[in-house]
Chain A
Amino acid sequence: MTNFERFLDTFFNGKVMLKYLPDILSGMVVTIELAVLIVLSGLAAGLALALIRSLAIRPLNWLIIFIVDLFRSLPPLVIIVLMYFGLPYGGVSPSGFVSTWLSLALVLMAFSEEIFWAGITSVHKGQWEASRSTGLSFGQTLMNVVLPQALRLTIPPLTNRTIAITKGTALGTVVAVTEILGEASSAVSNSYNPSPLMMGAAAYLVLFLPVVVLARRLETKFAWKR
């Protein structure tokens, strides 16, 4: 065997790859499930917090700012570990899947609230006053005048953040979630061969590369011309 053949046999071993392909595929399904749940719940919660903040109730806003700051400054892995290894001592035992989902959704909530809020405040005060004086209610002004402009502004920073946080699904492997990295790692220790890890890496690229390229397009499309 030449060196190159040995390299291929080690890192891209056809037999091993074929054997563990179903595992990697089922890992992909779990990763997608987690990602979709995180994005939907995280963004919804972030938008909800930003809307509550626009009501301008002082003590409530302080609480929101504190929660946002908290989840922006804690590393996601620390939150996951705290939930999975810490909460059971208090009598609640969330599964690895739930811990990862909730942790990353909270982090996305914090980051997206900041972005949504910045978008909302970027709409000029005069527009609020103008729509209110034409007889629109607070809610109508928010939904029909402010949000459409605010959301457009938030798209580039939001896509970036969302991708970065969704990639964090790989952290689930630390708390035994059977997503791509988890499946790949256990396949490596079962087969004494790194090929499943290469497959796992490829699986992540298949999932996330299109999203990154799409985000780049969105960014240029919605970028504000200076």
Chain B
Amino acid sequence: MDLAAALDDARLGDEEAFRALYRAVHPALLRYLRVLVGEDAEDVASEAWLQIVRDLARFRGDGDGLRAWCLTIARHRALDHLRGARRRPLSVAVPESLLQRPGPDDTAASALDALATVSALELIAALPADQAEAVYLRVVLGLDARHAAQVLGKRPGAVRTAAHRGLRRLADLLAESGSDTFRACGAERE
């Protein structure tokens, strides 16, 4: 079902339309929250969906706008969560641990585990917050600069810059670590 059509029907109370909408939006939302709050992502996602459901009738916009709107709500809930927890969920040491996880004795299965989506997201989350969010929204999720800027409350130019810096930082992390984690995993896949 088209996201815009699902949105229209869901506003009228169509449960199947809402299910389609949920399935179109939730994975990206949950992964964004993994970047923001780590292991607490599912709890925060539940809070975000409660608000989305409550405010859905008031939303005005198209499918892309809806995605950005949902992500904005999720981000606000995540920031509230972080304020409450008074901490960043992921320490700077995480990328090191991730990159070193597949040692020489690891099996192919563990190498593939290292390529798991969650690990990749955790690596992105290890970037400075603005870069991590920009990389996720612009590069992973593919939001255009305008919608990404809307989610982050920044100018599109600032989001582009942060995404570019984040990608370079990721490349540096991979190069500095000397780990073949993702190369190895890619080879396994190929």
A and B are partners in one complex rather than unrelated chains: no
Please list the residues of chain A having a beta carbon within 8 angstroms of any beta carbon in chain B: none
Please list the residues of chain B having a beta carbon within 8 angstroms of any beta carbon in chain A: none
